[in-house]
């Protein structure tokens, strides 16, 4: 029996190697993409977490402010607290580097205390100049920062406001992790040089032996909340809260990429089903003969499942190997974040994880076994006496024509699409899409029967009075009308690949068009001026703001101030933006979503929150909230919700006058210039270049900002475009494999047609029309199904994943191009396979019936 099983398996593969290779390739592509994305993100996140651990050292408790900086007066109380062995003050921020959009993280430390808690942050002076560690003009750079900035003659220029600050690179941080770009200075020098006297970012605490860390943390948190309400967060470094905050920034992105990668595997399951179903139909009489000769149904079932198992094992093994190679290549060429920007400043290396590899391997094998389960069960249940006869192929898959399981799947999908997210992930949305696909594909035999029977009746009625009707079209419609199960199998591969491609294309196009429209709406000014470098230390002082406002041709200025605030310890900080907003008409400057509530007399000052704030913090319109500003909590009222595609972690906008009145901070991060009628942007930009601090500024018109934003979008979605292209390729190969298998399985049918006088040319025409008709129905149904899936992606998955909404847009040129390619592939494949089926004589084709 083992020899017979091996002979049957290898014989089938030798007879039809292309079909087996296509099924293996489909599984391998899905597994390789999913495994590669898992390895990339796991490596990036682990390296990112390790880098954070290196900055925290061996601290037991960490005290941070809800604002970026807090008064250092709280430090003595913490350092002298019972149970504290060492308290290390730290000042940390992103310093602006002239000409660079990426900032350099600067960390100011007290070297005498940091040596006990975070020794990795202590630099090694060059030439044994120990005094450089405490010098007020020195900086220690990590190897990655040195390689990035390439300090000229041992000096590095940073930007403070609009002025340049030159520091001497005194040595390196030899224990910094690969790719980690940081610079370390003495704490006092950092405060002085960067205008942050008396300010700290965090305090790392090392406890004495025997002190209960959890109890100490709880007591300290209670005391700080009582004495300084809303001003501090007390965490255990690298605990679950901090890890969840770091992971939350990229979790939705990683999950969505993984699901999109598994789209290819999902399509591969239907290709395996199509391949195995048509193979079983073609070998129906052979299996019946084996049953007559003594093979029981359990052995036959096992044999067909072994064929699917072999496809799954081969595809999964190739996919695991290819996924590891893809992950290594992607980390080398594309970086750790695949263009999304979540894991900047790390340089991870891919590590093979046996557990993940085993999970993806089992997943690929399971998909292959599920794909061949229905054909295997049908072959085992078939009665040998009936299966030995020709013409019973249509009855082989008759159970697939039942409609009630499909309707249950579709109904359940509709219900799940309205379910809320779980762990802030749209798991029910993805399950809804899967059930919708399964239900729609299962309905294809019934749909094909309805459509082609109706077409056959209409054609028969139209040609009843005509003496001569087209025999080719008559035979084609008759065959499609009476072989709906086989037609449904052929349509399954087309429907799954095309519908998923349509859904992905609509989702990406909708986001891209919505982003472009959003940029048009939020960029109403003529010129936008910002500092020429990223980071938090660059900015405009009041006298510089006045100089910009006095430029010729400027009619109005809108200054912007940005900073971050922490509203929850388990979430990343949110962006606070202060600018000139008309409370009576905020839609002039904001992309308002829904209703607005103007502030009533005596009510707290208004703020306008992004959609993410509603989902993450329940900040609905009219709600009163408290924000930490200038060392205290201040009351505000949510006056409206606006759309923000730039920051999925949340954004709050407030009036610049309210912000300055509370904080006393009169600096600005950027400015939008509105020109007088008739004034030219080129003249104003030229005048801007004449300012004394012009070298620190960067001026752009809205069109330039839009172009740059679209480039960032395309880079971030590069992996999505790749997945979409792969889905199209798999769909084309699936169509080719499906119609090739179906055509070869009908060799006896073609032989009988040749006996009754149908020519080879007419049979080839029948095949071409059948391929085009089936693919056309699959495209039409796939478009409808893909459109429904895109609705779930656009209006359920994306809002639950990234907390923003978008408008629906259909990319007609792309959809029409892919539809044309599928039609051409189906017709061409049917013709080529038909030529092969007709290569033998008609007597040979029907000899089994003699």
Q: What is the pLDDT of residue 486?
A: 64
Of 273-287, 381-395, 605-619, 687-701, the range with the lowest mean pLDDT is 381-395
Q: Is 60 exceeded by the pLDDT of residue 343?
A: no
Q: 202-207 and 84-95: which strand pairing?
A: antiparallel
Query: Which contacts qualify for 249-252: CB closer than 8 Å, 24 or more apart?
Result: 249/342, 249/572, 249/649, 250/41, 250/44, 250/45, 250/337, 250/340, 250/342, 250/343, 251/424, 251/425, 252/424, 252/425, 252/648, 252/801, 252/802
User: Is pLDDT above 70 for 675?
Assistant: yes
pLDDT at 737 over 70: no
Per-residue confidence band for 850, with pLDDT thresholds at 50, 70 and 90:
very low
The helix or strand, by DSSP H or E, that contains position 157, with its residue range, turns out to be: strand 155-160
The burial of 693, by beta-carbon neighbours within 10 Å (0-12 exposed, 13-18 middle, 19 or more buried), is given as middle
Answer yes or no: is pLDDT of 451 > 70.
Answer: yes
- pLDDT confidence bin for 572, thresholds 50/70/90: confident
Which residue has tokens 């592939």?
825
pLDDT at 720 over 80: no
For helices 17-56 and 718-744, angle between their N-to-C axes, nearest 10 degrees: 160
Q: pLDDT over 70 for what percent of the chain? A: 85
Residue found by looking up tokens 């990683």 in the block: 254
pLDDT category of residue 391 using cuts at 50, 70 and 90 = low
What are residue 483's DSSP bridge partners? none
| Contact call for residues 481 and 426 (beta carbons, < 8 A) | no
Q: Does the pLDDT value for residue 346 go beyond 90? A: no
Q: At what angle do helices 240-282 and 284-292 cross, to 10 degrees?
A: 80
Distance (Å, whole) CA 231 – CA 202:
12
Query: Lowest-pLDDT range, 365-369, 725-729, 760-764?
Result: 725-729
What does the pLDDT average to over 597-602? 86
d(CA 609, CA 590): 10
pLDDT of res. 244: 46
pLDDT tens digit sequence for 38-62: 888 777 767 666 777 777 788 999 9
Which tokens in the block code for residue 294?
A: 């003594």
First-residue to last-residue Cα distance in the chain = 29
Predicted local confidence at residue 283, as pLDDT: 75
Q: d(Cα 729, Cα 203) in Å, to the nearest integer?
A: 55
Structural domain spans, the chain: 1-56+246-389, 58-236, 390-524+703-850, 527-700
300-309, 442-451, 608-617, 814-823 — which one is most confidently predicted on average?
608-617
Q: How many CB atoms lie within 10 A of CB 258?
A: 15
Highest mean pLDDT among 63-72, 150-159, 477-486 belongs to 63-72
Say if CB 533 and CB 165 are below 8 A apart.
no
Tokens (6 digits) for 9: 């398996």
Closest residue by Cα to residue 699 from 543, 548, 515: 548
Burial of 227 (0-12, 13-18, 19+ CB in 10 A): exposed
d(CA 84, CA 211): 9
Q: SS3 of 80, please? A: coil
Q: Which residue has the tokens 């509603």?
A: 614
Q: Using 50, 70 and 90 to split pLDDT, how confident is the model at 745?
A: low
- Structure-token match 């929850």, residue found: 568
Return the pLDDT at 243.
Answer: 47
What integer pLDDT is reported at residue 368 of this predicted model?
84
Residue 543: partners with Cβ closer than 8 Å, 6 or more residues away: none
Higher pLDDT, 356 or 746: 356
Residue 682 scores a pLDDT above 60:
yes
Task: Determine the pLDDT at residue 141.
Answer: 95
Q: How far is CA 730 from the centre of its chain?
A: 20
pLDDT at 247: 52
Give the residue carrying structure tokens 């801007």.
688
List the single range of 236-250, 276-290, 425-439 with lowest mean pLDDT. 236-250
101: left (phi over 0), alpha (psi -120 to 50) or beta: alpha
pTM of this prediction? 0.84
pLDDT score of 245: 47
Structure confidence by residue, pLDDT tens digits, 509-549: 999 999 999 999 899 999 999 886 677 888 899 999 999 99
Range name among 457-466, 561-570, 621-630, 803-812 with the lowest pLDDT average: 457-466
Q: Half-sphere exposure (CA, 13 Å, Cβ side) for 163?
A: 8
DSSP one-letter code for 797 = I
pLDDT band at 412 (very low <50, low <70, confident <90, very high): very high
Q: What are the E-state strand segments in 246-399?
A: none
Of residues 554 and 249, more confidence is placed in 554
More confident residue, 449 or 63: 63
Tens of pLDDT, residues 114-163 = 999 999 899 989 877 888 999 999 999 999 899 999 988 889 999 999 89
Lowest mean pLDDT among 173-177, 411-415, 466-470: 466-470
Mean pLDDT of the chain: 84
Give the pLDDT score at 295.
Answer: 84
- Distance set, CA 96 to CA 7, 158, 183, 192, 537 (Å): 70, 6, 12, 16, 6
Residue 838 has pLDDT above 60, yes or no: yes
Phi, psi of 758 (to 5 degrees): -75, 130
Is the pLDDT at 751 greater than 70, yes or no? yes
Find out whether 187 and 108 touch, Cβ atoms under 8 Å.
yes
Question: 266 — phi, psi (to 5°)?
Answer: -60, -45
Q: Residue written as tokens 């990668």?
A: 261
């Amino acid at each position: 029996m083992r020899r017979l099983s091996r002979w049957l398996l290898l014989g089938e593969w030798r007879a039809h190697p292309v079909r087996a290779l296509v099924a293996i390739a489909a599984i391998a592509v899905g597994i390789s993409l999913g495994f590669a994305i898992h390895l990339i993100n796991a490596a990036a996140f682990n390296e990112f977490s390790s880098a954070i651990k290196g900055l925290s050292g061996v601290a037991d408790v960490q005290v941070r402010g809800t604002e970026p900086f807090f008064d250092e007066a709280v430090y003595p109380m913490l350092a002298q607290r019972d149970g504290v062995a060492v308290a290390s003050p730290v000042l940390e921020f992103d310093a602006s580097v002239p000409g660079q959009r990426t900032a350099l993280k600067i960390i100011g430390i007290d070297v005498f205390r940091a040596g006990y808690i975070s020794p990795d942050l202590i630099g090694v002076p060059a030439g044994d100049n120990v005094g450089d560690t405490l010098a007020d003009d020195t900086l220690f750079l990590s190897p990655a920062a040195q390689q990035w900035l390439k300090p000229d003659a041992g000096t590095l220029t940073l930007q403070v406001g609009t002025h340049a600050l030159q520091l001497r690179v005194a040595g390196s941080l030899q224990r910094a992790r690969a790719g980690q770009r940081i610079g370390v200075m003495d704490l006092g020098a950092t405060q002085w040089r960067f205008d942050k006297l008396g300010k700290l970012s965090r305090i790392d605490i090392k406890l004495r032996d025997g002190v209960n860390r959890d109890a100490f943390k709880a007591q300290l948190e209670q005391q700080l909340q009582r004495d300084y309400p809303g001003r501090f967060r007390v965490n255990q470094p690298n605990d679950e809260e901090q890890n969840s905050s770091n992971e939350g920034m990229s979790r939705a992105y990683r999950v969505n990429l993984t699901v999109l990668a598994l789209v290819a595997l999902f399509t591969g399951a239907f290709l395996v089903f199509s391949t195995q179903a048509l193979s079983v139909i073609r070998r129906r009489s052979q299996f019946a003969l084996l049953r007559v000769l003594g093979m029981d149904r359990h052995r036959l079932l096992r044999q067909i499942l072994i064929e699917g198992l072999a496809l799954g094992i081969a595809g999964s093994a190739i996919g695991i190997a290819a996924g590891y190679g893809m992950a290594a290549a992607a980390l080398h060429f594309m970086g750790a974040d695949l263009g999304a920007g979540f894991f900047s400043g790390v340089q991870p290396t891919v590590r093979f994880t046996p557990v993940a590899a085993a999970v993806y391997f089992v997943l690929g094998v399971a998909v292959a076994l599920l794909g061949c389960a229905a054909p295997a069960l049908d072959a085992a249940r078939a009665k040998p006496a009936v299966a030995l006869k020709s013409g019973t192929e249509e009855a082989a898959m008759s159970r697939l024509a039942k409609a009630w399981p499909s309707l249950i799947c579709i109904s359940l999908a509709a219900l799940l699409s309205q379910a809320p997210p779980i762990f802030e992930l749209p798991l029910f949305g993805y399950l809804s899409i899967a059930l919708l696909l399964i239900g729609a594909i299962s309905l294809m035999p019934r749909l094909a029967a309805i459509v082609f029977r109706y077409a056959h009746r209409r054609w028969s009625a139209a040609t009843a009075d005509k003496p001569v009707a087209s025999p080719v079209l008559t035979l084609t419609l008759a065959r499609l009308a009476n072989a709906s199960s086989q037609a449904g199998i052929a349509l399954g591969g087309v429907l799954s690949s095309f519908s998923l491609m349509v859904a992905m294309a609509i989702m990406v196009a909708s986001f891209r068009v919505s982003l472009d429209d959003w940029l048009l709406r939020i960029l109403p000014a003529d010129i936008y001026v910002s500092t020429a470098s990223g980071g938090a230390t660059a900015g405009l002082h009041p006298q510089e703001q006045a100089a910009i406002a006095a430029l010729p041709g400027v009619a109005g200025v809108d200054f912007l101030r940005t900073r971050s605030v922490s509203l929850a310890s388990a979430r990343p900080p949110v962006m606070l933006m202060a600018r000139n907003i008309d409370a009576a008409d905020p839609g002039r400057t904001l992309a308002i979503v829904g209703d607005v509530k103007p502030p009533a007399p005596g009510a707290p000052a208004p703020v306008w929150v992004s959609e993410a704030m509603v989902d993450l913090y329940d900040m609905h319109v009219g709600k009163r909230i408290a924000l930490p500003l200038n060392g205290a909590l201040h009351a505000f009222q949510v006056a409206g919700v606006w759309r923000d595609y730039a920051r999925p972690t949340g954004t709050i906008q407030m009036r610049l006058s309210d912000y300055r009145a509370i904080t006393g901070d009169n600096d600005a991060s950027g400015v939008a210039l509105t020109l007088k009628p008739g004034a030219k942007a080129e003249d104003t930009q030229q005048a801007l270049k004449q300012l004394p601090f012009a070298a620190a500024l960067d001026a752009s018109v809205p069109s330039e900002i839009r172009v740059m934003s679209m480039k960032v979008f395309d880079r971030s979605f590069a992996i999505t475009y790749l997945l979409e292209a792969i889905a199209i390729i798999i769909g084309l190969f699936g169509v080719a494999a499906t119609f090739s298998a179906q055509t070869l399985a009908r060799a006896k049918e073609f032989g009988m047609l040749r006996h009754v006088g149908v020519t080879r040319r007419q049979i080839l025409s029948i095949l071409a029309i059948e391929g085009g008709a089936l693919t056309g129905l699959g495209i039409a149904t796939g478009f409808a199904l893909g459109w429904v899936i895109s609705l779930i992606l656009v209006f359920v998955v994306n809002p639950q994943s990234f907390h923003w909404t978008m408008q629906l847009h259909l990319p007609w040129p792309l959809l029409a191009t892919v539809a044309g390619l599928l039609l051409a592939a189906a017709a061409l494949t049917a013709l080529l396979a038909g030529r092969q089926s007709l290569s033998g004589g008609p007597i040979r084709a029907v000899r089994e019936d003699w």
